[in-house]
Structures are given as C-alpha cells and as structure tokens.
Amino acid sequence: MNRAWFLRGCGLLLLLLLPWILRDRLSLTVPFVIGLHAILALGLALLAGQAGQVSLGQAAFYGIGAYTAALLTVRLGWDPWLALGMAVLVAASLAYVLGAPVMVLRGHYLVLGTLALNVVVEVILRNWQSLTGGANGLSGVPPLHLGPFGALRGTLPYYYLVWGLVLASLWLGHNLLRSRVGRALAAIRASEVAAVSLGIPPVRYKLQLFAYSAGCAAVAGGLYAYELGFVSPSPFGFELSIAILVMGVLGGIHHLPGAVLGAAIVTLLRELLRSLLPQFFRGGASAEYEAVVYGLLLAAAVIGAPTGLWPLLARWTRRPSQESRVQPAQPPLWRLNQVPVDPPEPARDPVVKAQSLTKRFGGLVAVDDLSFTVSPGEIYAIIGPNGAGKTTVLNLITGLLRPNSGSLVLFGSPVHMLPPERIASLGVARTFQTPRVVWDLTVLDNVRLGMHLHLQAGFFTSLLGLNHEEEASSVRQAGVLLERLGLVPHAHEIAANLPFGSLRLLELARALALRPRLLLLDEPASGLSREQRMELARLIQEIRAEGVTVVLVEHDVEMVLQVADRVLVLHQGRRIAEGPPSVVRSHPEVISAYLGPAAAEIATAGPKDLRGNRRAQA
C-alpha cells in the first residue's frame, strides 16, 4: 500500500470522525459548507478544466436550486426529494438554453454570459417580492426525510449527505474523464478541427458539461435550503461565483480533487476574513474587501502556480500528477491483437462528385469553378504548386469550409450543408498537413478517438462508468491498428513524445479507426524519410485494396505517380489537367505551372529539339 492510498484512507476516516472530533467545540456548519462549495467547485472544474469554458454562474445555479427547492416545498407542498429533482432539472435546462448560443458561437462569451445571469438572478430574487419574499427571504423550508431516519434535522445528517455527494461527484468525474466522452473533450481542447473531423460534436459535449455543472450546483443549493430551513438572496451573489472560481483555480483546474482542496482552503479563508475584516474596515464594505483578497489570490495562483496546488501535493505523495487527468485502463499489450477491424463495405455511387465548387476568401478565389469525380476504390491524387487550393478542396469535402457556390455529393447524398461531424459519420476520415493529435493523450487513446463514432457510451453511461466492455473492446481494436502501423511499442506513451514520422502514422491509424469509406490524406509524405515514404506508398495501396477510396494531396510527385490511379492538377484554384499519371506528367500546362512557361515549351518541343537547341548553342 503506497502513501497515496494511506492518505486517502486517513482523509476518509477524518471525514467520518470529524463530527466527534469537533463535538461541542466547533459547529459542523463550516465543514458542511465546505462540502457544498466542493460540489460547486467540482462542477466548475469539470467545465473549465475539461471543456475550457469558465462559468461565473455557479452561485446563480446554486441559488436557483435553493429557491426552486424552497418554493416548491413551501408554496406547493411538494415532497422535498421531488423538489430537489425538479431543482436540478430547472438549473440544467436553464444552462442548456443559455449555453446553446454561447457554445455555438465558440468564443469566450460564457464568462460574461454567466456573469449577467448571476446579476439577473440576484435582481429577481430581491425584487420579485410576491414570489421570493424579496430580501427577507423565505422561511419554513421543510427538512429532507430518509426512510428509517425520518426527517433529517440538524447539521449532522446533511454533513454526511453532502460529503457523500462530494465523493460521488469525484467518482463520477473520474469515470467521465477516462471514458469516450472524456477523450472527446480532450480532443476538443486540443483542436476542434481535428475533433469535428473525427465526428465529435464539440457543442454537444460542452453543453452537456455546462448543464451537468449547473445540475450539481442545484443539488448543493437544495441541500443548503433543507439544512437551514430558510433561503435569502444574499448567499447567492456574484461574490460566491468568484470564490468558487478561486477554489477551482487554486486547487488546480485540471485536477478534480484539487477542487475539493480549493474549496476547503477558500471556505476557511472566507470564515477567517469574515471575522477579521470588519475589525479593520468599518462601514459595512468588508464583503468588498473579501473580493479583493480573491482577486489577489487568483492573480497569485494563475501567475505563481498555474497548475494549482493539487499537482504539487500529488507530487509530494509520489503520485504521477497525470493520474487525475485522462488515463486509459492499461491492458497488457500481448492481449491487444485479437479482434480484427471489420473491413468497410465498398462504396457504390461515385464517392465524391464535385460540381462547379467555388470558395473565396475575401478577394482571393482559392477554388474556382472546380468539378471532379472520384470513383469507388480509386486512389485519386490532387497535386499542384503551393497555394493551388489543394487543402481547401479537402476542407470543402470534410465540411470544415462551406463552398460559396457549387455542389458536393458524397456517396450519392448532397453534403454541402452538413456540419463536419456529420460528414465524418458518413465514413469520411482525414489526416492533416501538420498532424493534429491530442498531445496529452496516449498513442492508444489517440487511436481510440478515431473510434468515437463506433462507440456508444454517452454522457450518463460514461459518468456512471457503465462502459467497461466497450472500452476493453476498443482497446483491442486500437491494438490491431497500432500493430499494423508499427506503433505498439509507443502505445502507452503520450503523443507529445513521438517523433514526427510516427505522428503521421498515428494520425493515419486514428483515421483508419474511423473505418472510413473515403480517406483523405493531406501531404502524408512530407517530413518522412525515403524509407518511410516507400512504406507509406505500400500502406496506401494496401488500404485501397481493402475497399477504401483514397484522395491524396501530395507534393511528392514521385510517390503520386507511383500510387495514384488518376491525378487532378490544380493551379490557382482551377483544374488544368486530369487523368492517369502518365498523361498528366507530359501535359504542357502542368509543366508550365510547375516549372514556368519556358520549361513547357522545351518539354512539348520534345527531346529531339531539345538536343538540337543545345547543339545550336554549342
């Protein structure tokens, strides 16, 4: 048993025995409140640390939870448990409604959006007297009841209830991070472009997390109301939202247990400040000074210990600080190679049918009235000088860009209005010019990202950890791909440690994990050694032989001529030639585009004249 487990045991024992330790000396209220704050901070840590979205609305959702529970029980006589469930529903739905436009817009609107929400909640709680009782609050909130224990009165049962929930949220969060959803979130953090290309919808996952964090806050709010039997607007102000953020950042926003640590530190500090500050500052502004302390703490934490306190503590207990981030279950490698990846069914319609595609960036026409067709089972290469619009064509096919005009049909269905994650789900996978892998995930998990569309586990399944079977089978399938691309020795390394050539292979493995019908490769050979290029060419032909249509954008003309069935040559967004490699190779416009008009003249004149010219010069 190592030190970490020993410390965990001690922590648990302390939690259990705390009421006896404190007995009559100190009230249990502070530990109870720490637990409430820990729940709020855990919700925020998931949202901010995993989805990269900061919410300043935790106090608002806390308040909404408390007031919904109080109003339903006091005014309508609902059962407290039912009211608590309703409170969660109200908060989570509100988060969905507010979050949807915010997440669609991608930017960083959530901070100020939730700040505004917090202001509104305060305004409504204070002003809508007939409903909320205004500043005087609402009293007579009934306590919870629990089977054999009857009504739960006093702080003691709520203390256990809250800390049970804290441990439960830790467990749920931990499950989530090591699931399909957790990997998807890591991909979204690393590169949304890569994520959507794998069929991961970023908006949905960010929204789910936001709603989850709001729901957690509402549970805490309900428990607060039942414990106290009274609610008033003041505990749910903007100041608490800030305190919650401080807890998350101070403890370490990427580390879930850090949120609990942060909650303990900041809540104790709050209590201390509340007893000290009024002695120094008269005039009732001590809450404002409290905020200054948070401001300084935040600045100090961000600049001085940007990863928060938890990783520091974790290092001391000799636990790798990665552990609370996404980590796969680590199977022994010899079991990897058992289940073969299903071969994809061959396509029937033309795989890609582009008609008059045009894409403009401002005044620049990147793709100009371009039409082409890719047949099933073909290796179709797109070449052209730099800036010819090759990558733009790939971005149009994968839906990362929308054409200004023209139509695009994949596998017989029009796709020009589909979002990229839907296009991926048609069986379209791609690699990028600069590999976009998730640096902080292992090689194995990066490949499993490619299986996102083939795995089922949703948000709740992942939270509850009901995904073991699927996870295990995905590890086996990923193992097959790793073996095929020679990456098995790196399986459990994080991707950041890989050399460049292996990164290209990793991206290819990830694309294959999607079981594509159409595979788009963007300059897969660049940066590879000669041997690696040969290997890649062999691999591409092998993939095609399995029924996958390949579109290859490449600068390495030698490789293109070797593997491609047909070649499309682009110059300044226009098609200048198309056909089998042998035809394209001697096409005058192609030579002109690559080597300049003079070279084209020489080439078309033929070798005889060329010699003749030389003779003349001599």
Partner 1 sequence: MSLGQQLAQFIAAGIVNGAIYALLGLGLVVIYSVTRAVNVAQGEFAALGALLAATLASAGWPVEAVLPVGTAASALLGLLAYLGGIRPVRTASPLVLIIVTLAMHLTLKGLLLLVWGTDPYTLPPFSQGAPLRILGAVLARQSLWILGTAGVALMILYGFFGYTLYGKALRACAINDLAARLMGIRPQAMGAIAWTLAGALGGLAGVLITPLTLATYDMGLMLGLKGFVGAVAAGLTSYPLAVLGCLLFGIVESLVAGLLPSGYRDAIAFGVLVVALLTRAVLALRQGVLVGEEVLSE
Which residue(s) pair with 413 in the sheet? 410
Burial class (CB in 10 A: 0-12, 13-18, 19+), 431: buried
The pairing of beta strand 379-383 with beta strand 566-571? parallel
Options 30-38, 155-163, 187-195, 320-328: segment touching partner 1 (CB under 8 A): 187-195
Q: What's the rounded Cα separation, in Å, for the pair 540 and 378?
A: 11
Minimum CB distance to partner 1 smaller for 15 or for 277: 277
Interface with partner 1 includes 603 (CB under 8 A)?
Answer: no
Q: Scan residues 283-312 and list those touching partner 1 (CB under 8 A).
A: 283-285, 288-289, 291-292, 294-296, 298-299, 302-303, 306
Interface with partner 1 includes 123 (CB under 8 A)?
Answer: yes
Interface with partner 1 includes 81 (CB under 8 A)?
Answer: no
Q: What's the rounded Cα separation, in Å, for the pair 286 and 458?
A: 46
Interface with partner 1 includes 104 (CB under 8 A)?
Answer: yes
Binding mask 390-409 for partner 1 (x = CB under 8 A): -----x----xxx-------
Interface with partner 1 includes 196 (CB under 8 A)?
Answer: yes
Tokens of 572: 């300044």
Options 260-268, 278-286, 337-345, 478-486: segment touching partner 1 (CB under 8 A): 278-286
Interface with partner 1 includes 48 (CB under 8 A)?
Answer: yes
Interface size with partner 1, residues (CB under 8 A): 59
Interface with partner 1 includes 426 (CB under 8 A)?
Answer: no
Tell me, what DSSP letter sits at residue 347? P
Question: CB–CB of 248/48 below 8 Å?
Answer: yes
Question: CB–CB of 360/404 below 8 Å?
Answer: yes
Interface with partner 1 includes 520 (CB under 8 A)?
Answer: no
Tokens of 68: 């919904």
Q: What's the rounded Cα separation, in Å, for the pair 459 and 179?
A: 9
> Max alpha carbon distance in the chain (Å)?
111
Interface with partner 1 includes 539 (CB under 8 A)?
Answer: no
Give the nearest distance from C-beta 106 to partner 1 in angstroms.
7
b vs e for 492-515, b when ≥16 Cβ sit within 10 Å of the residue's Cβ? eebbeebeebbbbbbbbbbbbbbb
Give the nearest distance from C-beta 198 to partner 1 in angstroms.
13
Interface with partner 1 includes 363 (CB under 8 A)?
Answer: no
Tokens of 473: 């089978």
Question: CB–CB of 99/210 below 8 Å?
Answer: yes
Minimum CB distance to partner 1 smaller for 123 or for 472: 123
Residue of 54, 357, 397, 591 interacting with partner 1 (CB under 8 A): 54
Options 149-157, 255-263, 281-289, 446-454: segment touching partner 1 (CB under 8 A): 281-289
Q: What's the rounded Cα separation, in Å, for the pair 144 and 159?
A: 13
Tokens of 440: 């902080």
Site for partner 1, rule CB under 8 A: 48, 52, 54, 56, 98, 100-102, 104-109, 111-113, 115-117, 119-120, 123-124, 126-127, 191-193, 196, 203, 238, 242, 245, 249, 253, 283-285, 288-289, 291-292, 294-296, 298-299, 302-303, 306, 361, 395, 400-402, 417, 419-420
